[in-house]
């Protein structure tokens, strides 16, 4: 009996490894790619949180650069890598200079670098203060939705801190279907509070918009409170202000006294990131010596592993993960590539021959 053996198959030759072209994406392009797409960006952020929770990311601790002669200023490097269909590596480099505000320019400025998965070569540099504000706002909107399921939906909202981040959070709340009977506002700067009120009125926010002299008034009258300040230490100390059990979106991380943290149910985006750098949660850990006051992560809430209680104030404290910046930045890059609007810098990588 004659048997025939299958002929050996030849695998396709590997794709040649090439250096990707390098593109620069301006803030105007970033804003145009993201404007009006709140639902889509929240979906991207949710997917990034799920990948991170499932271990398909690398998100080391942020690196803080501080200055002895400028103690209120800092620069932060957020390296990260995210898997999934849109896998990408990269770094956000963001500065925070609070004194800029008095000069009439934004506090934060940033760039985001995207690196090629196969070669490590950077292939895009984009303006990232808009990306950073967008992913922060999308995270807050996602948390507001997930953490109010099973409890009375907030009908009043308060903002303590009224800068760029507060504006983006309100935009994302409105863009994902939230509407409030009233909005309460407080800022240590009367000009900032007035400017934010003007923005709310122009955006068509329904109901009264009231500027208050103290954060206490805002907290007591709000079902949901957004903390978006530049505070570097707790300035909200009285747990009784939260007796009505609001949802607190503690975006700025350092506003709440540890006593308030310990009296609340605490949801974070990443445990190790949030309990460092003298955040309110970090101070609570130092005070108690353990982490028993943590309820869980937002990813655990999304997967049903954790159900936030209804008999306590729920505080969401997001450190702001670099993987979120990468997810949003990759979306912007893909939109610019699809539309043919990438600004390629020809010859950016020049010395590409090993021996000349």
Task: Find out whether 329 and 320 touch, Cβ atoms under 8 Å.
Answer: no
The pLDDT value recorded for residue 351 is 86
Lowest mean pLDDT among 109-113, 236-240, 249-253, 347-351: 347-351
The pLDDT value recorded for residue 211 is 97
Examine the pLDDT at 1 and tell me if it is beyond 60.
no
Determine if residue 328 is left, alpha or beta; phi over 0 gives left, psi from -120 to 50 gives alpha, anything else beta: alpha
Q: What is the mean pLDDT of residues 311-339?
A: 97
> For 58-77, how does the pLDDT look when each residue is reduced to its tens digit (9 = 90+)?
999 999 999 999 998 999 99
The pLDDT value recorded for residue 5 is 52
- Angle at which helix 164-175 crosses helix 190-203, to 10 degrees, equals 20
- CA atoms of 342 and 299, how far apart (whole Å): 34
**Segments of 237-308 assigned E as strands:** 247-250, 265-268, 294-297
Percentages helix, strand, coil for the chain (3-state, rounded to 5) are 35, 25, 40
> For 143-182, how does the pLDDT look when each residue is reduced to its tens digit (9 = 90+)?
999 999 988 899 999 999 999 999 999 999 999 999 999 9
**Angle formed at CA 332 by CA 330 and CA 335, multiple of 5 degrees:** 110
Residue indicated by tokens 């503690």: 250
- Take residue 352 and report the two structure tokens written for it: 């590409």
CATH architecture of structural domain 23-131+322-344: 2-Layer Sandwich (3.30)
Q: What is the mean pLDDT of residues 208-235?
A: 96
Residue 130: C-alpha distances to residues 31, 39, 63, 98, 133 (Å): 7, 17, 21, 17, 5
Query: 283-319 b/e with 16+ CB inside 10 Å = b?
Result: bbbeeeeeeebbbbbbbebbeeebebeeeebbbbbbb
The pLDDT value recorded for residue 10 is 55
Domain 136-317: state its class.
alpha beta
Q: 135: pLDDT confidence band, cut at 50, 70 and 90?
A: very high
Can you name the residues that pair with 183 across neighbouring β-strands? 157, 209
Q: 2: pLDDT confidence band, cut at 50, 70 and 90?
A: very low
> For 272-297, how does the pLDDT look when each residue is reduced to its tens digit (9 = 90+)?
999 999 999 999 999 999 999 999 99
The pLDDT value recorded for residue 102 is 84
pTM of the model: 0.92
- CA atoms of 91 and 326, how far apart (whole Å): 8
The pLDDT value recorded for residue 101 is 83
Q: Where are the domains of the chain?
A: 23-131+322-344, 136-317
């Amino acid at each position: 009996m004659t048997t025939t053996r299958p002929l050996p198959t030849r695998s396709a030759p590997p794709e040649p490894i090439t250096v990707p072209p390098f593109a620069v994406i301006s803030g105007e392009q970033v804003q145009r790619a993201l404007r009006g797409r709140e639902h889509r960006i929240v979906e991207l952020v949710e997917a990034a949180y799920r990948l991170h929770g499932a271990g398909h990311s690398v998100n080391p601790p942020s690196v803080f650069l501080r200055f002895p002669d400028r103690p209120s200023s800092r620069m932060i490097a957020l390296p990260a890598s995210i898997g999934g269909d849109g896998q990408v590596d990269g770094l956000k480099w963001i500065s925070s200079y609070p004194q800029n505000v008095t000069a009439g320019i934004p506090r934060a400025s940033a760039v985001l670098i995207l690196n090629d998965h196969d070669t490590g070569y950077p292939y895009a540099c984009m303006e990232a203060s808009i990306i950073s504000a967008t992913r922060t706002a999308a995270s807050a909107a996602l948390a507001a939705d997930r953490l109010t399921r099973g409890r009375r939906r907030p009908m009043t909202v308060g903002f303590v801190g009224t800068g760029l981040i507060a504006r983006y959070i309100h935009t994302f709340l409105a863009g994902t279907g939230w509407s409030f009977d009233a909005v309460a506002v407080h800022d240590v700067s009367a000009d900032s509070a007035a400017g934010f009120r003007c923005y709310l009125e122009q955006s068509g926010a329904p109901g009264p918009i009231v500027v208050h002299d103290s954060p206490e008034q805002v907290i007591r009258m709000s079902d949901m409170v957004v903390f978006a300040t530049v505070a570097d230490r707790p300035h909200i100390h009285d747990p009784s202000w939260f007796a009505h059990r609001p949802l607190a979106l503690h975006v700025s991380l350092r506003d709440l006294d540890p006593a308030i943290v310990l009296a609340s149910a605490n949801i974070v985006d990443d445990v190790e990131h949030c309990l460092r750098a003298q955040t309110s949660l970090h101070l609570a850990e130092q005070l108690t010596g353990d982490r028993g006051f943590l309820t869980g992560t937002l990813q655990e809430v999304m997967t049903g592993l954790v159900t936030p209680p209804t008999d306590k104030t729920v505080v969401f404290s997001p450190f702001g993960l670099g993987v979120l910046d990468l997810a949003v930045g990759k979306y912007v890059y893909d939109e610019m590539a699809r539309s043919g609007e990438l600004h390629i810098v020809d010859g950016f990588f020049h010395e590409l021959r090993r021996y000349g």
